[in-house]
């Protein structure tokens, strides 16, 4: 999957204060460390669930327009599609980019917490141009939950458990030399994983 994070989230799913309460920390001395741990735990949970949890903007490149009537987007919780731009085979510079028009050339299905899709309108067709050979189609989209309150509690609880592992053990929990998986995290996230060909 060829993707690039354009705008990172400005919010984390849990606050530093919530993480501190979970870790039984009541002083400000560790606030920077806890903030970093929350970010690390969130990225770990995003990797497991294959989701973008809080609002963020991504570029997604595909090599061709599909034979079906839709393009499925990664990460779930699609908020909007900012642009679809493609390069034809005679592309020489950004001035030659072709920008598709929303509602005329495509429709957007946000599909709640599932995978969002770009769909052809009734009787619409994808462009038939011969495409540039390298990353010809770029889709920019915004996804993720818009507020902390909308994030499912199972995801927040899993992030708190990962925070505890990272903060208290400075890494993965071990018994002797053996790494021990935090099965509670897996159980909490089982129903939150996104599946698909990404």
Structure tokens given for 194: 């996104």
- Report the predicted TM-score, pTM, of the whole model to 2 decimal places: 0.89
The pLDDT score that the predictor gives to residue 180 is: 55
* Neighbour count for residue 93 (Cβ, 10 Å): 7
pLDDT range class, residue 176, cuts 50, 70, 90: very low
Per-domain boundaries in the chain = 15-50+148-192, 56-143
The pLDDT score that the predictor gives to residue 9 is: 96
Tell me the CATH number for domain 15-50+148-192: 1.10.3230.30
Tell how strand 137-143 and strand 78-86 pair up: antiparallel
Residue 167 has pLDDT above 50, yes or no: yes
List, for residues 36-50, the tens digit of each pLDDT value.
999 999 999 999 999
Residue 4 has pLDDT above 80, yes or no: yes
d(CA 115, CA 137): 19
165-173's contacts with Cβ under 8 Å and 24+ in sequence apart are 166/37, 166/40, 166/41, 167/23, 167/33, 167/34, 167/37, 168/23
Contacts of 154 (CB under 8 A, 6+ apart): 188, 189, 191, 192
Residue 29 has pLDDT above 90, yes or no: no
The pLDDT score that the predictor gives to residue 171 is: 55
Residue 173 has pLDDT above 60, yes or no: no
CA angle 38, 141, 98 (to 5 degrees): 150
| Rg of the chain in Å (alpha carbons) | 20
Structure tokens given for 60: 């997604």
When mean pLDDT is compared across 160-164, 167-171, 173-177, 190-194, the lowest value belongs to 173-177
């Amino acid at each position: 999957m060829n993707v690039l994070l354009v705008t990172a989230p400005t919010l984390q799913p849990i606050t530093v204060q919530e993480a501190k309460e979970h870790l039984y920390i009541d002083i400000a001395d560790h606030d920077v460390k806890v903030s970093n741990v929350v970010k690390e735990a969130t990225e770990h949970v995003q990797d497991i669930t294959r989701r973008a949890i809080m609002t963020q903007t991504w570029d997604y490149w595909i090599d061709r327009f599909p034979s079906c009537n839709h393009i499925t987007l990664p990460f779930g919780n699609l908020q909007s599609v900012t642009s679809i731009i493609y390069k034809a085979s005679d592309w020489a510079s950004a001035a030659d980019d072709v920008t598709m028009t929303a509602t005329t050339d495509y429709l957007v299905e946000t599909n709640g917490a599932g995978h969002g899709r770009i769909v052809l309108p009734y009787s619409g067709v994808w462009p038939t141009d011969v495409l540039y050979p390298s990353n010809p189609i770029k889709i920019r989209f915004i996804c993720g939950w818009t507020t902390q309150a909308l994030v499912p509690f199972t995801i927040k609880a899993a992030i708190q458990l990962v925070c505890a592992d990272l903060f208290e053990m400075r890494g993965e929990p071990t018994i002797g030399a053996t790494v021990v998986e935090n099965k509670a995290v897996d159980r909490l996230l089982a129903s939150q994983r996104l599946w698909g060909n990404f």
